[in-house]
Amino acid sequence: MKRIFQLTMILCAMMITSSCTQSGKNKAMVTKETYGTHKGKEVFLFTLTNKEGNVLKLTNFGARITWIEVPDRSGKKENVTFGFDTFEGMLRGDPYFGAVVGRYANRIAKGKFTLDGVEYTLPLNNGPNSLHGGPGGWHSSVWDAEIVERTEFPTVKFTWHSPDMEEGYPGNMHVETVYTWSDKNEIVIDYKCTTDKKTVLNITNHAYFNLHGAGNGDILDHELVIKAARFVAVDSTLIPTGELREVAGTPFDFTTPAKVGARIGEDYDQIKHGKGYDHTFVLDNKEEVDCSLYEPVSGRLMEVISDQPGVQFYSGNFLNGSRIGYGGKPFIHRSGLCLETGHFPDSPNHPDFPTTILNPGETFTSKTVYRFSVK
């Protein structure tokens, strides 16, 4: 009895509960528990419950989204994002699932770029190129974390101090990622970055989605809309050639709803280079919603809203079943897809692309919303 009491007390001490608004159906809240330790720092798991009783889980390891539990048309709730049963599983698993990726999401050709006549060299971790901020990028950092009190909705803020020359990038950078889980089942992500030296930046979230529920088959039947008249054409190492190609008449036309799998096997140079879709679309930015993803069986709909110039649509082409996720289910080929909002790959080497330079004294801010509903 005494032992049970002690254990309960320890568990209570591990869990800090912060309540938000209390009116409505449920009590919206955030709880925090210990998840593990890494690089000498404590890793936490945050559970955000909105008034609808839907759950978003986050961790400060990589400022990740690890769980998004939303209802289908009949009200049945299921987690629709990739993750692992334990922190150890996450450490062994795919490095990017749900993570905030920086300093530079996607690729920089040959790991080199020049700023004011100074050439910077980055670690090569993707064939001849540098990918996702290098092997020690922000996806692998243990961020500082705080539950933001007195907000309308459950909110958690992650901060990271990225030191000068971290993974080869100049400038001390202060990075903030704030996640808010609204009562309309919107994950609102607010990024804020400052630097003390001229540098480059491309920040994104790398969550994988499967609206059947993570681990339940592939995403080829999902219907996708991307409001983009052009996409960034790439070479066989997925580096932009410089061409912004019209989507019209190609397998890249998602301006009206199309199944992900409908044209993914076509004999088309860009599909071959990506082994499927692994391309940045140039967002038209004319309407509120930039992308929508609909899964007809469950009725789940996910809308993506971004203030960025592009979105990387990655159809999970490198997933091969070797990673095991929640409930022992393997992540099979194309069992999830990503819609990563941000800038174009390799922009530091393409002066005609929207700039990714951040100067001292400037503050980079950006917002991405993933909104879940049914239809």
**Active-site residues: which are they?**
206, 340
- What residues numbered 236-255 form the site for ligand GLA, per CB under 6 A? 238
24 near ligand GLA, rule: CB under 6 A: no
Contact between 314 and ligand GLA (CB under 6 A)? yes
Q: Among 52, 167, 218, 278, which residue sits at the site for ligand GLA (rule: CB under 6 A)?
A: 278
Q: Which is nearer to ligand GLA, 46 or 191 (CB)?
A: 191
Neighbouring CB atoms inside 10 A of 158's CB total 25
**Does position 162 bind ligand GLA by CB under 6 A?**
no
Distance (Å) of CA 169 to CA 114, 144, 160, 221 = 11, 21, 15, 40
Q: Is 202 in the site for ligand GLA (CB under 6 A)?
A: no
Give, as one character, the DSSP assignment of residue 148. P
Binder among 59, 79, 106, 129 for ligand GLA (CB under 6 A)? 106
Q: How far is the CB of 276 from ligand GLA (least distance, A)?
A: 10
Upper half-sphere CA count for residue 19 (Cβ side, 13 Å): 5
| Closest CB to ligand GLA: residue number | 314
**Cβ closest to ligand GLA, residue 155 vs residue 280:** 280
Select the span of 58-66, 282-290, 291-299, 310-318 touching ligand GLA (CB under 6 A): 310-318
Nearest-10 Cα torsion for 200, 203, 160, 197: 10
Q: In sequence order, what are the residues at sequence separation of 6 or more whose Cβ sits closer than 8 angstroms to the Cβ of residue 183?
A: 24, 28, 50, 51, 52, 153
Binding mask 124-143 toward ligand GLA (x if CB under 6 A, else -) reads -------x------------
Read off the tokens for 171: 């400038």
CA distance 83 to 328: 11
Q: Which residue lies nearer to ligand GLA by CB, 194 or 312?
A: 312
HEC letters along 158-222: EEEEECCCECCECCCEEEEEEEEECCCCEEEEEEEEEECCCEECECEECCCECCCCCCCCCCCCC
| Residue 109 near ligand GLA by CB under 6 A | no
Residue 251 dihedral angles phi and psi, to the nearest 5°: -65, 0
Position 318 contacts ligand GLA (CB under 6 A): yes
Distance of CA 286 to the CA centre of its chain: 23
255 close to 226: Cβ distance less than 8 angstroms: yes
CB of 338 to ligand GLA, least distance (A): 5
Applying CB under 6 A, among 35, 84, 96, 344 the residue interacting with ligand GLA is 96
Of these, 68, 80, 193, 338, which contacts ligand GLA (CB under 6 A)? 338
What would the two tokens of residue 236 be? 């066989």
The residue from 54, 202, 298, 312 that contacts ligand GLA (CB under 6 A) is 312
Task: Give the binding site for ligand GLA (CB under 6 A).
Answer: 96, 106, 131, 238, 278, 312, 314, 318, 338, 340
